Chains A and B, each alone.
Chain A
Amino acid sequence: MDIFLTALAELFAPGHFVYLLGGVVLGLVIGVIPGIGGLFGLTILVPLTYTLDPIAAFSLLLGMASVTTTSDTVPAVLIGVPGTVGAAATVLDGHALAKKGEAARALGAAYSASMIGGVFGAILLSLALPVMRPVVLLLNYGDLLAITIFGLTLVAMLSGQDQLKGLLAACLGALVACAGLDPHEGAERWTFDLLYLWDGVPVAIVFLGIFGIPELATILRRDRVLQGESDDHDRRKLVQGMGETLRNWRLVLRSGGIGAMLGALPGVGVTVIEWLAYGDAARSRKPDEPEFGTGNIRGVIAPESANNAKEGGSLLPTLAFGIPGSAPMSILLGAFALHGIVPGPRMLDEQAPLVITMILTIALANVLATGFCLGLTPLLAKIARVRATTLVPLALVFVVFGAFQYNKDVFDLIFLLAFGVLGIMMRGLGWSRPAFALGFVLGPNLESFFFLSYQISGWDWLTQPLVVVCLAVAASIVLRQLLKSYRSRSERGVVPPKQADLAFLVLLLGLGVAGFVSLVSLPFAAKVFPSGLAAITAALAAALVLRAVLRWRESTEQSAWPVGADLRFLLLVIVLGAALLSLGHLLGPAAFILGVGLFFGYSPRHLAFATLGVTSVLWLLFDVATPQNWPAPLLF
Chain B
Amino acid sequence: MNFRKFLMPLTLAALAVAAPVRAADTVALQVGYGPGGSFDIMARLFADHLGKHLDGNPTVVVENVPGAGSLKLARLIADKGATDGSQIGTISGALGLMPVFDPEGGFDPANVRYIASASKESSYCITPKSSGITSLAEFVKSNGKAGATGKSSSTYTYSAAIKAALGGTYDIVTGFGGGNEIDLAMERGDIQVRCGISLTVVGQADMLERYRILGEIGTVSKGPVTDEPFVLDMVSDPAERAALELVFSSTRMHHPYIVSKDTPEETVMALRKAFAETAADPAFLADAETRGVVVDLTDGGEVEALIEGFRNADPAILQRAREMVQ
Contact = CB atoms under 8 A, between A and B. Distances in A.
Interface string B125-140: 0000000000000000
A42 B22 CA distance: 24
Contact of A330 (B21, B37, B188): B37
Given A604-B3, A629-B28, A324 B67 contact: no
B183 interface: yes
Given A587-B19, A605-B3, A627-B61, A452 B176 contact: yes
A629 B181 CA distance: 32
B66 interface: yes
A451 B191 CA distance: 14
Contact of A629 (B10, B15, B79, B87): B87
A487 interface: no
A338 B72 contact: no
Contact of B188 (A137, A345, A630): A137
Contacts of B295: none
11 contacts: A42-B35, A183-B150, A334-B40, A455-B174, A456-B173, A456-B185, A584-B22, A586-B19, A587-B15, A616-B14, A628-B28
Contact of B67 (A198, A587, A609): A198
B35 A140 contact: no
A168 B40 CA distance: 39
Contacts of A195: 67, 72, 75-76, 79
Interface of B: 1, 3-4, 7-8, 10-11, 14-15, 18-19, 21-23, 26-28, 34-37, 40-41, 44, 48, 59, 61-63, 65-69, 71-72, 75-76, 79, 86-87, 145, 150-152, 171, 173-177, 180-181, 183-185, 187-188, 190-191, 204-207, 210, 290-292
Contacts of B59: 627
Interface residues of A, number: 70
Contacts of B86: 629
Nearest to B59: A627
B18 A186 contact: no
Interface in A302-344: 317, 321-324, 327, 329-331, 333-334, 337-338, 342-344
Given A141-B190, A452-B173, A324 B72 contact: no
Interface string A613-631: 0011001000100111111
Contact of B184 (A323, A329, A611): A323
Contact of A185 (B18, B34, B151): B151
A520 interface: no
A344 B206 contact: yes
A452 B181 CA distance: 11
A448 B8 contact: no
Contact of A612 (B1, B11, B63, B173): B11
A562 interface: no
Nearest to A325: B180
B67 A338 contact: no
A227 interface: no
Contacts of B14: 590, 611-612, 615-616
A266 B107 CA distance: 32
Contacts of A629: 23, 26-28, 61, 63, 86-87
A140 B191 CA distance: 11
A605 B61 CA distance: 37
Contacts of B71: 186, 198
B146 to A, nearest CB: 11
Contacts of B175: 183-184, 448, 451-452, 455
Given A456-B173, A628-B61, A181 B68 contact: yes
B26 A627 contact: yes
Contact of B180 (A185, A324, A344, A346): A324
Contacts of B79: 195
Contacts of A39: 35
Interface centre among A455, A619, A626 (most CB of B within 10 A): A455
A337 B26 CA distance: 28
B134 to A, nearest CB: 22
- Main SS class of interface, A: helix
A465 interface: no
A628 B26 contact: yes
Nearest to B38: A334
Given A183-B150, A186-B152, A342-B206, A334 B1 contact: no
B36 A330 contact: yes
B72 A611 contact: no
B3 A267 contact: no
Given A184-B151, A199-B68, A452-B176, 16 more contacts: A50-B290, A140-B188, A266-B180, A321-B183, A334-B40, A338-B291, A456-B173, A587-B18, A590-B15, A608-B3, A615-B18, A619-B21, A628-B28, A628-B63, A630-B23, A632-B23
Given A47-B48, A337-B204, A590-B15, A632 B177 contact: no
Interface in A256-272: 266-267
A476 interface: no
A464 interface: no
A615 B204 CA distance: 44
A343 B66 CA distance: 26
Contacts of A455: 145, 171, 173-175
A630 B59 CA distance: 13
Nearest to A452: B175
A604 B72 CA distance: 47
B10 A612 contact: yes
A333 B150 contact: no
A629 to B, nearest CB: 4
A43 interface: yes
Nearest to B105: A186
A317 B8 CA distance: 54
Given A181-B67, A195-B75, A619 B22 contact: no
Contacts of A609: 7
Given A137-B187, A198-B68, A629-B61, A586 B36 contact: no
A199 B67 contact: yes
Nearest to A603: B3
Nearest to B3: A604
A407 interface: yes
B176 to A, nearest CB: 7
A322 B34 CA distance: 17
Interface string A514-547: 0000000000000000000000000000000000
Given A266-B180, A267-B177, A605-B7, A331 B35 contact: yes
Contact of A590 (B18, B26, B37, B180): B18
Which among A317, A407, A628, A631 has the highest number of chain B CB atoms within 10 Å? A628
A181 B23 CA distance: 31
Contacts of A633: 22
A623 B23 CA distance: 11
A633 B19 CA distance: 9
A346 B206 contact: yes
B181 A266 contact: yes
